[in-house]
Amino acid sequence: MKYIDYYEVLGVPRDASTADIKKAYRKLAHQYHPDVSKETGAEDKFKKIAEAYATLKDPEKRAAYDNLGRHAQGEEFVPPHAWQEHFHESAADFSDVDLADLLAAFAAAQRAERRQRPLRGQDFDVTVPVTLEDVYHGSETEISVALPEYDAQGLLHRVPKTFHVRIPKGAADGQRLRLPGKGGSGLNGGKPGDLYIVIAIRPHKLYRMDGRDLYIDLPLAPWEAALGAPVRVPTPGGEVEMTIPPGTTSERRLRLAGRGLPSADGKHGDLYAVVHIALPARLTDRERELFQQLAKESRFNPRAALQSRTGAAQ
C-alpha cells in the first residue's frame, strides 16, 4: 500500500484545526474541482484532495490515520500489526488496497451498525479516447480499469479488469455505454454499481467536428479560386473530386453533402471545405512577371466599398 501524506496534499500542518482543514480544502476544491476547473489533470488532483479531506475532517478517521505513523509521500508501507489483526484474513495482501479504502473500512468497522445496512456499489465513469475513423466505421477496443471489490472483512481491493467493448458506427462524442452491475461491488447484499464508458473523440489532424458535420481547410491557388478547378478533397470515407466554381472567395464554405460523420440512425452529416487562398512561399521569376502583368492590366479594386464610404481614402 502506498502512503499518502494527507496533510501535505491539503498543505496544512499536522496539528491543523478542523476549521483550517476545511478552509484549505475549499480553496483547493475551487481550483481543482473537475466540474469547474479547466486545469489539466484537475480530476486526479481533486480526487487526492477530496480523499485527504474525507479523512482529516472526520476525527475518528483522522486519529486512525495519524495512528499509521508518518511516512514519506508515496512510500510503500504495511499497516501496523494491530491493523492487520483487525483484517486478519486479508492481512497477507494489502498491496491492492487504497489507503482511503482502508480508512473507510476501519471507520465502518468502528460503527458496527454500518455493517448491517446494504450499500449499493459505486458507479464508475471511464473515458475512452477513440479516433474519428473509429466512429466512422465502427470498431472494437479494450478498456482496463481497476474496480473496487469488497473482501469478507469489508475491505475494498482494487481489482484490475479488462472489458472488450464494441464502438458502434455513428457513436457520438460524449455518448455513454452503460454496463449494468459492472461497477463497484455492493456491501452487505447491496447491489453492485454500474460502469459507464464515455466516448471521447480525439481531435483529428484534418477534420474539425461540429456534431455530425465536419470542416476541413481547403487551400486553393489564386488562379484555381479565380478560374475554378477540379480538386481532390480527403473525406473519412475516401478522397472525392470536387469542382471549385470560378470566382470562389476565401472563407467560402463548399458543402459535400453526406460526407460527414454517420449517426446512429444511419444518416450522415455533411463535410464543409473552407477555402483559403494560398500563395507560393517564394515566387519564381516567371510567376512574378505574370502577377505583375495581371496587376497592370486588371481594373479590379478590392477596396471599392471602403473608399466609397470614407471618400478619398486609398
Partner 1 sequence: MTIRITESVWQHASQLCSLQDIIDASGLTKEDVLELIDMGIIQPSNLEAEHYSFQIQCVTLARTARRLRDDFDLDASGLTMALRLLGRIDELETELNRLRIRLGGRGARQP
Assess 47 for contact with partner 1 (CB under 8 A).
no
276 DSSP β-pair partners: 219
**Burial degree of 180 (CB within 10 A; 0-12, 13-18, 19+):** exposed
Site pattern 237..276 for partner 1 (x: CB under 8 A) = --------------x-x----------x-------x-x-x
Smallest gap from residue 5 Cβ to partner 1 (A): 21
- Site size for partner 1, by CB under 8 A? 40
**x-or-dash string of contact with partner 1, 270-309, rule CB under 8 A:** --x-x-x---------------------------------
Nearer to partner 1, 162 or 314 (CB): 162
- Considering only residues 69 to 108 of the shown chain, the ones binding partner 1 according to CB under 8 A are none
| Residue nearer to partner 1 on the CB measure, 200 or 240 | 200
Determine the angle formed by the axes of helices 42-56 and 99-110, rounding to 10 degrees. 30
C-alpha grid cell, residue 21: 482543514
Q: Are 30 and 12 in contact (CB under 8 A)?
A: no
Of 148-156, 202-210, 222-230, 289-297, the window that binds partner 1 (rule: CB under 8 A) is: 202-210
Q: Which is nearer to partner 1, 69 or 118 (CB)?
A: 118
For residues 224 and 244, is the Cβ–Cβ distance under 8 A? Answer: yes
Least separation in angstroms between residue 264's CB and partner 1 is 6
Instruction: Centre a 10 Å sphere on the Cβ of residue 123 and count the other Cβ atoms it contains.
Output: 14
Helix ranges, the chain (H): 6-10, 18-32, 42-56, 59-66, 81-86, 99-110, 132-137, 222-227, 285-297, 304-310
DSSP 89: G
Does the protein bind partner 1 through residue 179 (CB under 8 A)?
yes
Q: Which is nearer to partner 1, 47 or 303 (CB)?
A: 47
Q: How far apart are CA 37 and CA 29, in angstroms?
A: 9
Helices 99-110 + 59-66 axis angle, to 10: 120
Beta bridge partner(s), residue 142: 164
Note whether 145 binds partner 1 by CB under 8 A: no
Closest to 184 measured CA to CA, from 171, 193, 173, 175? 193
* Residue 123 found at the interface with partner 1 (CB under 8 A): yes
**Cell reading at 267:** 444518416
Residues 13-42 that bind partner 1 (CB under 8 A): 26, 29-30, 33, 35-36
Per CB under 8 A, residues contacting partner 1 are 26, 29-30, 33, 35-36, 46, 50, 123, 142, 160-166, 168, 171-172, 175-180, 182, 194, 203, 208-210, 215, 217, 251, 253, 264, 272, 274, 276
